[in-house]
Amino acid sequence: MFVFVLEGIGEVVAGDDLAALIAGAAGTRLEHGDILAVTSKIVSKAEGRQVSAADREQAITDETVRTVATRAFPGGVTRIVENRQGLVMAAAGVDASNTPDGTVLLLPVDPDASARALCAALRESTGLRLGVIITDTVGRPWREGQTDIAIGAAGVAVLDDLRGTDDAFGRRLFVTVAAVADEIAGAADLVKGKTSGNPVAVVRGLEHLVNELDAADAHGATRLLRPIENDMFRVGSAEAHAEGFSEGYAAGLAAAAGDAASVAVVVE
Amino acid sequence: MFVFVLEGIGEVVAGDDLAALIAGAAGTRLEHGDILAVTSKIVSKAEGRQVSAADREQAITDETVRTVATRAFPGGVTRIVENRQGLVMAAAGVDASNTPDGTVLLLPVDPDASARALCAALRESTGLRLGVIITDTVGRPWREGQTDIAIGAAGVAVLDDLRGTDDAFGRRLFVTVAAVADEIAGAADLVKGKTSGNPVAVVRGLEHLVNELDAADAHGATRLLRPIENDMFRVGSAEAHAEGFSEGYAAGLAAAAGDAASVAVVVE
């Protein structure tokens, strides 16, 4: 696998033709099976998702569909939320870095649709079978530091389902489904960096993951979003504890009042 | 960045000299600044961390220092725990894939120490300035699929702290600390795969992350473990809710009994 950045894309502004900018920067360097990892920031800029920094807190609220956890820090509150795109991230993904002074960026409205349009345009203009992943940077529970993940994808499998294949001992692998799109996003981040002004990397050597835009496994990065009902960490520990405490308190009062019916209701 | 696997390492058994096996498989292909991503499985095998599969559940219990979340599934219970290595993972990292029939593998006792010994031996035998990362595969909250992370590291920076550097607009980056060792582990997984029997990948082009074994930032992968007191997801939502409910129930009963003192005790 070979990963390199496309220099010379320069600053992106609302209305820019990203496919043309990327194709221009790539020149003749792209090949069949290449996967382009594109920082969501430039997609947001091209789509005009810039808002005034003065409205940042309101923007975070507007982008939030569900608060997962909050924690106060000196000077503010960290809000971990599920945003309109279904992603669980701090500040709903509203971003103040690498944006012009006085502005913040919202994530693309539909990163999979953005990836699909970009991939289709790049395949058209280059005649090459390419994949596109749109990346963003997130924190993780239990681990220090941040990694890049895939928030949009087109023309590339985001999960490599190894269940049903055999391990080196001929035993079936039952639970392994590799989140390859997230690993590709992380690999691209290693060469793009955060400060270099290189928003696009090319990942070569994974053509087995590149598929047709209408392939059965071309479901985009939304496929990487775990349904909340399957998630054991759907809210923060403190939030879940507080919710349980208030429910338990009401149940305790009701029990003391001998109101068995309401206990059953509260407890169930 | 260029990532390739080292073929021909073959099956590893207890007592094997991993450094010799890897150096032999690499031949003359290694260069200054290369980072070797080594699957923890072969480190465990070389260290004789194999136990009988019949003892799997007991082994998970023995490796567990703290239960984070549990969920029943048809035929068993998924246990997300913090293990002796400080890692939060399913089944404490006890692994039944790519192991001989009737056996399971425990993680290395001290993956950073294993990485350090391996890195020192490889630097000695090759005369090259190399880094070593020991990888394992984990699931994540909120995201489908699994990714490889760094559970051990030596001779390489695991975090790339960009705080205090400038973004492309000359504005300071305040919160970005890239978990580069985890991104390297993921990049290596893309070429190693899970079934190919290629337990070692070489990552070339990140020599800026390779440091001295005794460098100030050579703190190993334990540096990637977030202290529990800083973690908003230290236990599962259901576990936190249940704990809160029982405390609240007791507080409700006490309040109904008009025992303000015990309320204060329970609630505080």
Residues 144-203 of A with CB under 8 A from B: 144-149, 158-159, 162, 165-169, 171, 173, 176-180, 182-184, 186-187, 189-191, 193-197
What is the residue-wise DSSP string for B119-159?
Answer: HHHHHHHH----EEEEEEEEEETTEEEEEEEEEEEESB-S-
To the question of domain A2-49+107-233 being in CATH 3.30.1330.100, the answer is yes
Distance CA(B211)–CA(B208), nearest Å, equals 8
Q: What is the pLDDT of residue A54?
A: 87
Of B146, B196, B205, Cβ closest to residue A177: B146
Cβ contacts of B215 within 8 Å, gap of 6 or more:
none
Please name the helix (run of DSSP H) or strand (run of DSSP E) that holds residue A164, with its range, or none: none
Q: Which of A68, A81, A89, A140 to mutate to test the interface with B (most CBs of B within 10 A)?
A: A140
Phi, psi of A210 (to 5 degrees): -85, 130
Structure tokens at A97: 């870095």
Mean pLDDT of A115-128: 97
- Determine what percent of chain A is predicted with pLDDT higher than 90: 74
Structure tokens at B153: 């590291």
What is the residue-wise DSSP string for B4-51?
Answer: EE--------TT--HHHHHHHHHTT---TT-EEEEEHHHHHHHTT-EE
Contact A107, B198 (CB under 8 A): no
Question: How many interchain CB pairs under 8 A, A with B?
Answer: 304
Shortest distance, CA B118 to any CA of chain A (angstroms): 24
Q: What is the pLDDT of residue A137?
A: 94
Q: Reply yes or no on whether the pLDDT at B257 is more than 90.
A: no
Report in angstroms the alpha-carbon separations of B152 from A39, A77, A179, B47, B193. 29, 33, 21, 14, 19
Instruction: Give the helix, strand, coil percentages of chain A, each rounded to 5.
Output: 35, 25, 35
Task: State the first-to-last Cα distance of chain B, in angstroms, to the nearest integer.
Answer: 53
Distance CA(B64)–CA(B85), nearest Å, equals 9
Distance CA(B209)–CA(B192), nearest Å, equals 21
Residues 199-258 of B with CB under 8 A from A: 205-206, 223-226, 231-257
Residue type present at position B196: S
- For residue A255, list chain B residues with Cβ-Cβ distance below 8 A: 249, 252-253
Phi, psi of B82 (to 5 degrees): -90, 125
Four-residue CA torsion sign, B214, B218, B222, B227: positive
Shortest distance, CA A8 to any CA of chain B (angstroms): 13
Distance CA(B231)–CA(B35), nearest Å, equals 30
State the virtual CA torsion across A85, A42, A18, A14 in degrees, nearest 10.
90
Q: Which ipTM was obtained for this model? A: 0.91
- The band of B228, judged by pLDDT with boundaries at 50, 70 and 90, is confident
Q: Of B136, B71, B132, B63, nearest to B97 (Cα)? A: B136
Q: Reply yes or no on whether the pLDDT at B166 is more than 70.
A: no
pTM above 0.90, yes or no: yes
| pLDDT tens digits, B76-125 | 888 999 999 999 999 999 987 778 778 999 999 999 999 999 999 999 99
| pLDDT tens digits, A166-186 | 666 665 555 679 999 999 999
Mean pLDDT of A155-174: 72
A52 touches chain B (CB under 8 A): no
- Determine what percent of chain A is predicted with pLDDT higher than 70: 89
Distance CA(A19)–CA(B229), nearest Å, equals 45
Q: Of A153, A119, A135, A130, nearest to A30 (Cα)? A: A130
Mean pLDDT of B61-81: 91
